[in-house]
């Protein structure tokens, strides 16, 4: 069987990528970080990518989507409404 390349399921900052990788690990989905050292340089042009094996893609997608939704709600919750 030929080796399959990992499929990227998320691109973001190093903290978000690490959190998502933990969520995937909790579901027994092996994941890999790409550009993780570049992402720590503080440049927004390069995102840290989270990739999974092709055979785990279907299992990973609901986890990734749930994580993205939670990130959006967290971002809204942190807005300081006292600022005009």
Instruction: Quick: pLDDT tens for 11-33.
Output: 988 889 999 999 999 999 999 99
Beta bridge partners of 52: 7, 31
H helix count then E strand count, the chain: 3, 3
Topology given in CATH for the domain delimited by 7-75:
Alpha-Beta Plaits (3.30.70)
Domain extent listing, the chain: 7-75
Instruction: Quick: pLDDT tens for 60-79.
Output: 999 999 999 998 866 555 44
Lowest mean pLDDT among 4-13, 21-30, 46-55, 75-84: 75-84
Taking 60 as the threshold, does the pLDDT of residue 44 lie above it?
Answer: no
What per-residue confidence (pLDDT) applies to 39?
A: 44
Length of the chain: 84
Q: What is the pTM of this model?
A: 0.73
Label residue 22 exposed, middle or buried (CB < 10 Å: 0-12, 13-18, 19+). Answer: exposed
């Amino acid at each position: 069987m030929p080796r399959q390349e990992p499929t990227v399921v998320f691109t973001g900052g190093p903290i978000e990528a690490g959190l998502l990788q933990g969520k995937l690990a909790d579901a027994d989905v092996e994941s890999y970080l790409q550009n993780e050292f570049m992402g720590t340089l503080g440049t927004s042009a390069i995102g840290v990518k989270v990739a999974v094996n092709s055979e785990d893609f279907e299992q990973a997608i609901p986890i990734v989507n749930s994580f993205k939704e939670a990130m959006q709600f967290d971002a809204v919750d942190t807005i300081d409404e006292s600022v005009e």
